[in-house]
Amino acid sequence: MEPKPNSRIIVALDCDNRAAADDIVGRLGGDCRFYKVGLELLTAAGPGVVEDLVAQGKEVFLDLKLFEIPHSVAGAVRAAGALGVSMVTVHAMGGVGIMSAAVEAAREFPGLRVLALTVVTSMTDADLAAIGVGGATQEQVLRLARLAGEAGCHGVVGSPQEASALREVLGAEALIVTPGVALAGTSAGEHARAGTPGAAVAAGASHVVVGRGVTRAADPAAAFRRVRADLGE
C-alpha cells in the first residue's frame, strides 16, 4: 500500500505540553498530515490531544511502545483504536504472545496498524551485549522482525541502516517506519544509526519519523519542506 506523498513523513510531537504541540501543528498546517504522539505528550496533555488531531483530519502514530502481559497490551491497543489512531507500537522483545495479542485487539479497528519495535535506534552492539543479547544489532533487529511477521504485525520500526534488510525479510506490503533520520549537515542527536530521510525511503522505508529536526527548527514549516525535498517531493 503506497501512502500519499506527504503521509510518508511523520512529525514527532515530542513536547511536554499541549500548547507547544498545537503550535507545531499550526505552523505546519496542511503540509503535514501525520504526527507521532509519544509517552511524553500523551502523559502531559492527555488523550484529548490525539482525539483533536484525528478530528482535524490528521493521522496519528501513537507510540506507546507496549511491553506488558498480553491482556494489558490488548486493552491498551483497543484504547488506542478507540481514539482513532492509525499506528500503535509494541515491543518485539516481548515475543510473539504479546505481539499477537496486539494484532488481535487491533482487528476491530480497520484503520489501525500494529508496528513492532525492534531495537531502539540509540542502541549499539555494546548496549545489546550489556543487557545480555549476543550478536550484532542488525542480527537482533532481523530476528525480531521475523517474529513480528509471524505474529501478524503490519510492520516494524527500525533504523534507516536496516531498512533494506527489513524490506527483504518482511516483503513489499509491510510498513517500515524509520526514526533516527536527519538531513545531511544537521545533528543526528542521540541516534546511533542515523541516515537521511531520502536514503531511508530509497532503502525501503515506507515512512520516516522526524522530530527535533523539524520541531526545534527556527522555521518548522521550512524544515518540513526540506524533508519533503529530500524525499523528492
Reading the block at residue 96, the C-alpha cell is 510473539
Reading the block at residue 42, the C-alpha cell is 500523551
Q: Which residue has the cell 521475523?
A: 146
Reading the block at residue 94, the C-alpha cell is 516481548
Residue 65 falls in the annotated catalytic set: yes
- The number of residues that bind ligand C5P (CB under 6 A) is 18
Interaction of residue 14 with ligand C5P, rule CB under 6 A? yes
Interaction of residue 207 with ligand C5P, rule CB under 6 A? no
Residues 53-72 that bind ligand C5P (CB under 6 A): 63
| 166-195 footprint of ligand C5P as x/- string (CB under 6 A) | -------------xx--------xxx----
- For residue 1, the number of C-alpha atoms closer than 13 Å in the C-beta half-sphere is 11
Interaction of residue 12 with ligand C5P, rule CB under 6 A? yes
Interaction of residue 209 with ligand C5P, rule CB under 6 A? yes
Longest CA–CA span in the chain (Å) reads 46
Angstrom distance (rounded) from CA 163 to CA 25: 28
- For residue 59, the number of C-alpha atoms closer than 13 Å in the C-beta half-sphere is 20
The residues of the shown chain that bind ligand C5P, judged by CB under 6 A, are: 12, 14, 36, 38, 63, 120-122, 179-180, 189-191, 209-213
| Residues with a known catalytic role | 65
